[in-house]
Amino acid sequence: MPRPRLCRKIRFNPNIIYFKPQGVPMRMLDEIELTAEELEVLRLKNIKDLDQSEGAKLMKTSRSTFQRILSSAYKKITKALVEGKAIKIVK
């Protein structure tokens, strides 16, 4: 059995859940899903300018998990921008 997933602290609830390239109808776009955890890590790192250990502490997770989530978020956003995909934020 896999280890149970820990509850991570997320203090941000976005009002907007879709971002897409301008001028392309949604029906023609593939989507990339960005989790609420990934969005929170991006917010803490890039908007709040926290380092890895401070951000991990606020989310009640380890530094390595924080870094893994951050890397995943960067990869997804980069792929969406380069390949022209929509970004959907899932809760």
Q: pLDDT tens digit string along 40-76?
A: 999 999 999 999 999 999 999 999 999 999 999 999 9
Annotate 30-47 with b (16+ C-beta within 10 A) or e (fewer).
Answer: eebebbbbbbbbbbbbee
Q: Which domains does the chain have, with CATH numbers?
A: 18-90 (1.10.10)
pTM for this model (two decimals): 0.85
Percent of the chain clearing pLDDT 70 (strictly above): 95
Query: Which pair of tokens denotes residue 5?
Result: 């997933």
